[in-house]
Structure 1
Amino acid sequence: MNIRSMAAVLAATVMLPLGAAHATDLEVTHWWTSGGEAAAVAELAKAFNATGNKWVDGAIAGSGGTARPIMISRITGGDPMAATQFNHGRQAEELVQAGLMRDFTDLAKKEGWDKIVRPAGLLKSCTFEGKIYCVPLNIHSWQWLWLSNDAFKKAGVAVPKNWDEYVAAAPALEKAGIVPLAVGGQAWQSTGLFSVLTVAIGGKEIYQKVYGDKDAKVAAGPEMAKVFKAADDARKMSKGTNVQDWNQATNMVITGKAGGQIMGDWAQGEFQLAGKKAGVDYTCLPGLGVNEVISTAGDAFYFPVLKDAAKTKAQEALASSLLDAKTQVAFNLKKGSLPVRGDVDLAAANDCMKKGLEILAKGNVVTSTDQLITQDTQKQLEDLMSQFFANTSITAEEAQKRFVAIFSKAG
């Protein structure tokens, strides 16, 4: 039975989670479990608790790929949480279509979300058939290369200013016993890395034609061949990483065991928690120092339909608190992401965050893959990239052919 057909049955059976202490306790599920992420979540809980309600933390260990199926299963199975994290884009599309998520259009109009959420496309990602179903929380961009200044000092080479210099420095890093590029073993990490290479090496136009327009001819072309060559360099540089989680890979950079990592700006939270200073202990290169852009990825909260009136009312209080100016600053400074409000004071932002803000202000943005491709296409890409990075017998040419096959059928 698919999600859409289950909606009518569930409408009469949705129940509150067992063990709720009182009506204004709200269970909130998310996958933020690293040290930096936990510190950021504490700011959200603090803001919501100040409304007189109580944040009941429902953290799910692992990545979004691990957490999302659990979240979806609970919602479709009649045991919904009060609020849940998804990424901006199409991840909750079927749940919305099935009528399992709350419509927040009235609250959004009352509070003028369209006037404060920037870029406007973030709110559009929460909109289905003219109605708003989620609260965008932050702007997370994949388009970053994080470098350990100590690692390059130990290797006796200058900190790279772009991808080509980084690849050229790899032999010196290896000679010094340092893994050039840390890449965790989870498929979403190599897939995200590849999308960053597509923008940096292929360019914004190629990225949009492939991921946005699903142009198989462009996917098979010479520009994407250059991207696959760069991906081949990346997998060679990542040999010896031997960790699974993204924050473990980030820790390799923090401790100088790896020269760098291609990872979203959420990595900043780990550097901050470790007491490292941007521009001193580590260097950040947006767009790999080649194409300085920001992708409009990020996190949003959706609110499943509940039958309890008090909890339903408290959901609105939570939604409002997430977009509160003070909450936006407190959360994003610790998360490493950019706020979705364009009217907040980020004087305390570090050098890397300021770089991101400058790029955003210039309008140098690309739409995130979460907003462009379906979950089915994403899973196929993860399977491909996982195999490509794990098995060097798969050539770049063979991988590109499989890539083209995926986008020739992508919806």
Structure 2
Amino acid sequence: MNTFKHFLAGASVLALSVTANAAELEVTHWWTSGGEAAAVAEFAKAFEATGNTWVDGAIAGGGSTARPVMVSRITGGSPMGATQFNTGRQAEELVEAGLMRDFTELAEKENWKEVIRPANLLEGCTVDGKVYCVPVNIHSWQWLWLSNKAFEDAGVPVPTNWDEFVAAGPALEKAGKIPLAIGGQSWQTTGTFNVLIPAIAGKDVFLKVYQDHDAEVAAGPEIAKVFKAADDARRLSAKSNVQDWNQATNLVITGQAGGQIMGDWAQGEFQVAGQVAGKDYTCLPGLGVNELISTGGDSFYFPKLDDADKTAAQEVLASTMLNPQTQVAFNLKKGSVPVRGDVDVSAANDCMKKGLDILAKGNIIPDTNQLNTEDTNNQLNDLFVEFFKTPSMTPEEAQKRYADIIASAD
């Protein structure tokens, strides 16, 4: 803990000279929940320590709401100073259109290739050999978060895997609990399904479907098992009537729901609520079945600007976000893992340590955003929203449509 205090004490004393011509820089993102706001404040504090001004451009509603706004502003000639996207292919067309800054020189100067781990994070920022974004965290979707209180109230042990969780559903319902909390945003149901794939069918099937776009596998027996599990998830979440992901997390925090399949950013909400991993809540990486984690996350892109001072400030912000002290301060509040492999994370909680251990073992898969285009993701979102909202749609019908989407994916 002393080491961590040293890191925090130095969080605002960056290895950067204070900017000669300070500038205001608008930074757009979709981090608006309690845990997310606490985390992004660490970026703002560190950037302002350089003499520049962070103008917060938070957009509520999550990435699916924010990204079209961000893209419209950039393509419409009203760019922000920096903007969040998920690490992967979401900004690919903006880069190809020549609207984003090339940070290859800074990346080489600061040895990003040597310190950012795993390597595919920086590769996700690289187009035609040039670096166009700054990865800031490693986020994994592959988690089942459980309320210890909900299971205690229901008189059943806290599950250790997905099958035990499904089996506990009736007891939770009898105790007046929602077994599985899922919000109404489209990406949440798709995310739930994509977590079930490596847990139920395994890593190889996941890669064959999303990396190789193998429609035969998507239509086959292993994915049929996944749709059976998704059918269980649909039934268990039938009374989950919230919209936002953090509202669903709050149902778990308050013991109103047994569990939630959600990325490790949920940890930030448990932390803000003062809950302790292993005592108040339990986390099951890989749903307690296959302990794999995906290496997705968030990156910041910097649109080309005409203002010289703002352009200089962009470079300062890019460097600040990867500063070791800032990486620790931000990620411990975000619930994610730092992208730098050379920082001290001894203050991490039990769940983050589980993720770090899995990462160290190399039990990883790419995030779907690193493999799918936005068009493919949107088609999947539409399918799974309909599936979860339409009990009459059979798993077999949904799988056929799913295989068609995979067959046409690019």
Q: Do Structure 1 and Structure 2 share a fold, with TM-score over 0.5?
A: yes
Separation of aligned partners in 1, 2:406 and 2:110: 40
Aligned position for 1:357: 356
| Cross-structure match for 1:246 | 245
Name the counterpart of 2:119: 120
The residue that corresponds to 2:213 in the other structure is 214
Aligned ranges 1:3-402 → 2 under 5 Å: 24-402=23-401
Residues 13-64 of structure 1: CA deviation (Å, up to 9, x unaligned): xxxxxxxxx9610000000000010000100000100111111100001110
What's 2:16 paired with?
none
Deviation at 1:239, TM superposition (A): 1.1
Contact 2:22-2:51 at 8 Å conserved across structures: no
Counterpart amino acid of 2:30? W
Secondary structure of the 2:304 match is: coil
Residues paired across the two proteins, number = 390
Deviation string, structure 1 residues 382-401 (Cα, Å, up to 9, x no partner): 00000000000000000000
Question: What is the identity, as a one-letter code, of the residue corresponding to 2:405?
Answer: I
Q: In structure 1, how many angstroms separate the alpha carbons of the residues matched to 2:148 and 2:22?
A: 51
Distance 1:293 1:345 in 2: 23
How far, CA to CA, are the matches of 1:391 and 1:217 in structure 2?
Answer: 25
Distance in 1 between the 2:82 and 2:273 partners? 30
Give the aligned residue type for 1:375.
E
SS of the residue aligned with 2:243?
coil
Could you say which residue in structure 2 is the equivalent of 1:13? Answer: none
Cα distance between partner residues in 2 of 1:185 and 1:39 = 24
Q: Deviations over 1:323-379 (max 9, x none)?
A: 000000000000000000011101110000000000000000000000001110000
Unaligned runs of 5+ in 1: 1-21
In the alignment, the residues of structure 2 paired with residue 177 and residue 239 of structure 1 have an alpha-carbon distance, to the nearest angstrom, of 13
Tell me, in whole angstroms, the C-alpha distance in 2 between the residues paired with 1:203 and 1:395.
Answer: 23
Kindly indicate whether the alpha-carbon contact (under 8 Å) linking 2:137 and 2:337 is maintained by their aligned counterparts in 1: yes
Q: Secondary structure at the match of 1:184?
A: coil
C-alpha separation in 2, matches of 1:99 and 1:338: 31
TM-score normalized by the length of structure 2: 0.95
User: Aligned partners of 1:121, 1:297: CA distance in 2, in Å?
Assistant: 9
Q: Percent identity?
A: 73
Give yes or no for contact 2:266–2:335 (8 Å, CA) kept in 1: yes
Gaps of 5+ in 2: 1-20
Instruction: Provide the C-alpha distance between the structure 1 equivalents of 2:249 and 2:319, rounded to a whole number of angstroms.
Output: 33
Secondary structure of 2:168's partner?
Answer: helix
d(CA) in 1 for partners of 2:340 and 2:271? 22
- The two structures, once aligned, show a CA RMSD in angstroms of 0.7
- Match of residue 8 from structure 2: none
Q: What amino acid is aligned across from residue 365 of structure 1 in structure 2?
A: I
CA distance in 2, matches of 1:256, 1:194: 24
Output the CA distance in 2 between the equivalents of 1:256 and 1:189. 20
Deviation string for 1:119-154 (max 9, x for gaps)?
Answer: 011000000000000000000000000000000000
Which amino acid in 1 is paired with 2:106? L
Kept in 1: contact 2:189–2:384 (CA 8 A): yes
Look up the equivalent residue of 1:90 and give its one-letter code.
R
Whole-Å Cα distance in 1 between the matches of residues 405 and 315 of structure 2? 40
Deviations 1:279-309 (A, max 9, x none): 0000000000000011011000000000111
